[in-house]
Amino acid sequence: MKRRGFIQNSLFLGIGGMLTKVNVDKDGKQKPILRIVHITDVHIKASDNIPTRAAKYLKKALSANDVDFVLNGGDAIFDASYENVTREMVTEQWAIWDEFISNTDIEVYSCIGNHDPWWKAPTESDVMYGLDYAAKRLKMPHRYYSFDQKGWHFIILDGNQKGTKLDVIQMDWLKNDLGKLPANTPVLIMSHYPILSSTCAWSGGQHGDYKELKSLFFQHKDKVKVCLSGHQHLADEVNYNGVSYFCNGSLSGFWWGDGDQESAGKYYYQQTPPGYAILNLYADGTVENHYNSLETI
């Protein structure tokens, strides 16, 4: 094999003390080792032809080539948190979600949004009460968890505690999870709420413990590469201390409505159309986040 071809096809990087192969194309350009679809704030319900519209949107999102899995950023169902929500309403919404997400056989990793838990169950011991039931319906192993794929480490957080924070046990778990990773292991963290986002300046919605999280990420700046969120229905990108914070817009846009006086177009929430993101993750820890509008579908 010629030396040039050998370099192009066998480029290696040291990650965590191990040699990790970097895929490159014929021109020597690095290729992603993971391609992920990020959907968030689906807010599915039965009315207004929403299940059909949502299925069409999901099909479009999954039309990208070589998608490895889906990250669902929460608020899967329209709402279980309002005062007037009944058991029957919650049950119906989760059944519609099940039908919606059955449109793909690709693995889906979810986090819990603020609209997913039902807090008005008769008692806290009711099987449908709160976060644990929402996690069960989203097929999550726990309300927060982590997993590994192709050299990347993924952490899914639950910010649905008082003050939009992680509880003490979860924060300790997060510190331990990051601490036990080999040096230079690239990490993507997903929470429903933004940890850092410019949109929080006018819309609120930020993690209440963002200062502690920012400091923790700086301690592990060789690892934490991406923080992914939704909640805002607004799309933006912020880079701080080497971490890319991507807040992507919602699949439901303006909660499936046409919009209001602040909407830049039909279905928009302010200046963000309904959409989804494709993330390309690379072996060297770099990432690309491409937000794709669904306004014309």
What's 293's DSSP letter? E
Residues 138 and 72: beta-carbon distance below 8 Å: yes
Q: What is the pLDDT of residues 121-151, one digit of tens each?
A: 999 999 999 999 999 999 999 999 999 999 9
295 vs 181: which has the higher pLDDT = 181
Burial of 66 (0-12, 13-18, 19+ CB in 10 A): exposed
Lookup result for tokens 């505690």: 161
pTM for the complete prediction? 0.91
Residues 187 and 155: beta-carbon distance below 8 Å: yes
Query: Which sign, positive or negative, has the C-alpha torsion 194, 38, 76, 234?
Result: positive
**Identity at 153, one-letter amino acid code:** H
- Mean predicted lDDT score pLDDT of the chain: 92
Checking if the pLDDT of 16 tops 70, the result is no
pLDDT at 296: 78
Between the two ends of the chain, the Cα-to-Cα distance in Å is 48
pLDDT at 2: 37
Residues 79 and 43: beta-carbon distance below 8 Å: yes
**Identity at 130, one-letter amino acid code:** G
Q: What is the pLDDT of residues 214-250, one digit of tens each?
A: 999 999 999 999 999 999 999 999 999 999 999 999 9
Where does the pLDDT of residue 25 fall: very low under 50, low under 70, confident under 90, or very high at 90 and above?
low
CB under 8 Å to 162, separation ≥6 — which residues? none
